[in-house]
Homo-oligomer: A and B are copies of this chain.
Amino acid sequence: MDTPLVRKLQRFARLSSGEKQALNEAARLNVRRIGPREDIIREGERPDQVNLILSGWACRYKQLEDGRRQIIAILLPGDLCDTHAFVMPEMDHSIGTLSVVTVAEIDRDALTTITEQHPRVTQALWWETLVGTAVQREWTVNIGQRTATERLGHLFCELFLRMRAVDLTDGPSCELPITQVDLADALGLSNVHVNRVLQELRANGLVTLRGRLLTIPDLPALKTASLFNPNYLHLDRIGRHLDATDE
């Protein structure tokens, strides 16, 4: 069974079985289990390994002096937390868990070795970070321009599609292991308002939410209601650049 990272990277590059194996092994070496609402890395720290989410949800966030918190990005299984550590020594934001999370700590040097041996992996990881910044740009648009309802709907579309990209959806449903307070901090809204907007989406039949399970019965409808355009996720094409002649 491939790790979510490999499942995701395969959308971009056709990895050879050797490449997959190298990545999968690295992701199984130092696995750590972390409870919800804990920090993985804090602003100011200098990590010397890369954290890979294997299961559960985490987030990047920044906190202002007066306590206001903005969740900057939501990290799903298959997401790498701190690849920038290779170039930038000091974290300018924190990473914390939202749910129970298992992460693999991948040694910096181990990852370097893999990328040196497998240029396709290097390319695929580069693609991974570029998609991450494309998502970041879309969040700016989301918070800056969309109404509260559109914002929440847009976020649901994104999360659902990203979960599907790592095979963690079940038909029209996926896990949503995150509180309304966290949603609020991600969207720049208050938790009270998130609650009301959520009810509106439910009333319109655009989503249902039972327990921690999100269901989107009519994804196209939610997309149009949220002005959602999936192009920024760059999921559509398997990489033509990089074809593995499986050795």
Contacts and interface: CB of A to CB of B under 8 A. Distances in A.
A87 B127 CA distance: 6
A18 to B, nearest CB: 22
With most chain B CB atoms within 10 A of its CB, the pick from A92, A126, A234 is A92
Contacts of A123: 87
A141 B62 contact: yes
A187 interface: yes
Interface residues of A, number: 40
A134 B62 CA distance: 12
A64 interface: yes
B139 A92 contact: no
A45 interface: no
B145 A231 contact: no
A90 B133 CA distance: 15
Interface string A42-85: 00000000000000000010101110111011000000000010
Interface of A: 60, 62, 64-66, 68-70, 72-73, 84, 87-88, 90, 92-93, 123, 126-127, 129-130, 132-134, 136-141, 143-146, 187-188, 227, 231-232, 234
Given A87-B126, A92-B137, 15 more contacts: A62-B138, A64-B146, A68-B145, A72-B140, A84-B133, A87-B123, A88-B134, A88-B234, A92-B234, A133-B133, A136-B140, A140-B143, A143-B143, A144-B187, A145-B188
